[in-house]
Structure 1
Amino acid sequence: MSPRVTSRFSRPTTLRTRATVLAAGLGASAVLGAGVAAAVESTAASSAAGAATAAHAVQAQAAAQAKVAKAQAAEAAQAAEAEKAAEAEKAARAAQAAQAAKAVKAAQAEKAVQAAAQKQASWVDPVKSYKLSASFAQNGGMWASKHSGQDYAVPTGTPVFATHGGTVVKAGPNGAGDGPAYGNAVVIKHGNGTYSQYAHLSRVDVRIGQVVKTDQKIALSGNTGNSSGPHLHFEIRTTPNYGSAIDPIQFLRSKGVQV
C-alpha cells in the first residue's frame, strides 16, 4: 500500500479560489451597482429635461396668449379710437352744416332787408296790370289843352299804389283841389322834390298828411270827373298843383320802372 501524500498547498489554494470568486462577485456587484446608479441618474436627468421642456412649453404658450391678448387689446383700442374719430368727424360735419344753414338764413334775411330797403327807395307802376291809353302831351278834344299825364286803362275798382314813398298833400273830390275834371284824386309829395297825382278814382283810401310807403295801396281806380271810361290818370309834377306836369313814362323809366 502506497503511503498518502498530502499536499501542503491544497487548503490555501482552495481559499484563494474562494477569495477570487468572492472578489469577482463583489466586482460584478460593483459593476451592476454602478450601472443601476447610472441608469437612475439617466432617468432623473431625462425627467428633469422633460420637466424643463414642459415648463418652457407652458411659458411659451403663456407668452403667446399674452401676445394675442395684447394684440386684441391694441386692436380694440384702435377700433375705439377710429369710432371716436368718426363720431368727432360726424359732429364736425353736422356743426359745419348747421353753420352753413345759419349763414344761408342770415344771407336770406339780409337779402330780404336789402330788397325791402330797395323797394322802399325804388319807384313802381301805379297799377299792376294795365294797358296804356292816352299819353302825355297828346292832343284831343277831351282836354282844354294837351293831355297832362298818362292814362292806364284798367277796370273800375283796380287797386292803385303809391309809385314812391312820401306824404299825402291832397286827397278827395274835385280833383283834390285841381278841378272837377280830375274827379276824385290824390297827390303825394316825394322826398326828391317831385309829386305824383292819381285821378278819376272811385275811392280814396288815404288822407292829407298821411305818410305812405312805396307800393302801398292808396285808392281804387274809377271813372269819375271828365272821363270817357274807367282808367287811372297819372301825373308826375314838380309842384302839387295842376300845370307843373312832366312826362310820367319817361320819368318812371329813368327810375328803372319797366312801363
Structure 2
Amino acid sequence: MSKRVSFQHSRRPSLSRVRGAVVAAGLGTSMVLGAGAAFAAGTAGAPHTASLISNGTADSVAAQAAAQGKAAKAAKAERAAAAKKTAAWRIPVAHYALSASFGNDGSRWAHKHSGQDFAVPVGTKVEAAHGGTVVKAGPNGGGDGPAYGNAVVIRHGNGTYSQYAHLSKIDVRIGQTVKAGQKIALSGNTGNSSGPHLHFEIRTTPNYGSAINPVSFLYKQGVTV
C-alpha cells in the first residue's frame, strides 16, 4: 500500500513537468507563429513600400531629366544668340569720332554727303559691317570715281551693300567672302579727303547714287552709332 502511494506521488511531479513542457511548447509555438505572422505582414506590405519608393525614384528621375532638358534648351538658345550676335551688323571701326553725316552739304562733294564719316587715324583697322561678298575693291573708288580714293564694296545677303572709302590699304579681293567683323582694310586719307577718316555707306546697289542713311539703317539692325 505504501509503495503504491509512493509510486503515485512519484508520478505527479512527472505529469506536472509534462504539462509545463506542453504549455511552454505552446507559448513558444505561439511566439514563433506570432513572429512569423509579423514577418508575413511586413512582407505583405513590402510591395506597397517598394511601389512608393519606385514612384518616388521615377518622379526624381523625371524631374532631373526635365531640368537637364531645360538647361540644354537654354544653352542652345544662348549659343544661337551668340551666333546671331556674331553675324549681326556692326560699326566698321572702333574708337572713332563722328564727322560728316549723311545728307550734309559741303564743298568736298558735288552733291549732299552720301555716307557717314568716322574720324580715325590713318592705319585704323576697318572691319566688314556684315557678312557678304566683295564686289568692288581697288583705287578710283573701286570704280565709283577718284573722290573715294581706295575703296571696297561688299554685297550682303539681305539685298544691301556697304561701302568703305579713303582707305590706305585694302586687304580683300573681288569675289572674296567675308564675315562680320573681319578685317578688310586700313583707314586712310586717299581721294577727296580733308583729313584721315573712313567714309562708310549703305547702298541698295553696288554703285554710287543708291546710298541710304547708314546711321538709320544700322539703328534698325540694333546698332547705335
Give the TM-score, by structure 2 length. Answer: 0.76
Q: Name the counterpart of 1:21.
A: none
Which structure has greater helix proportion?
A: 1
| Alignment of 1:173 onto 2:136 | no
Q: Does 1:57 align with 2:24?
A: yes
| Cα distance per residue 1:66-117 (max 9 Å; x no partner) | 65587579879989x9799869966874675366335423442244235525
Residues 163-206 of structure 1, C-alpha deviation per residue, up to 9 Å, x if partnerless? 23332111012221222332221011233433211012232222
Among 34, 41, 45, the alignment partner of 2:12 is 45
Report the Cα distance in structure 2 between the residues aligned to 1:103 and 1:72, rounded to whole angstroms: 45
Q: Map 1:1-259 to 2 at 5 A.
A: 33=1, 36-61=3-28, 63-64=30-31, 67-68=34-35, 93=60, 96-97=63-64, 100-113=67-80, 115-117=82-84, 120=87, 122-259=88-225
Q: Distance in 1 between matches of 2:118 and 2:166?
A: 11
Secondary structure in 1 matching 2:219: helix
Change beyond 3 A, Cα 1:219–1:101: farther
Aligned residues: CA RMSD: 3.7
For residue 217 of structure 2, what is the amino acid of its counterpart?
Answer: F
Q: Give, in whole Å, the separation in 1 of the partners of 2:57 and 2:133.
A: 57
TM-score (norm 1): 0.68
Shift of the 154–70 alpha-carbon distance from structure 1 to 2, 3 Å rule, reads farther
After TM superposition, give the deviation of residue 252 of structure 1 in Å: 1.9
- Tell me, in whole angstroms, the C-alpha distance in 2 between the residues paired with 1:77 and 1:153: 87
Sequence identity of aligned pairs in percent?
54
- Closer/same/farther in 2, CA of residues 168 and 83 from structure 1, 3 Å limit: same
Instruction: Give the gaps of 5 or more residues in structure 1.
Output: 1-32
| 2-structure distance, mates of 1:204, 1:92 | 63
Aligned partners of 1:165, 1:110: CA distance in 2, in Å? 22
**Quick one: higher RCO (CA 8 Å, sep 6+), 1 or 2?**
2
How far the C-alpha of 1:159 sits from its partner, in A, is 2.8
Q: How many residues align?
A: 224
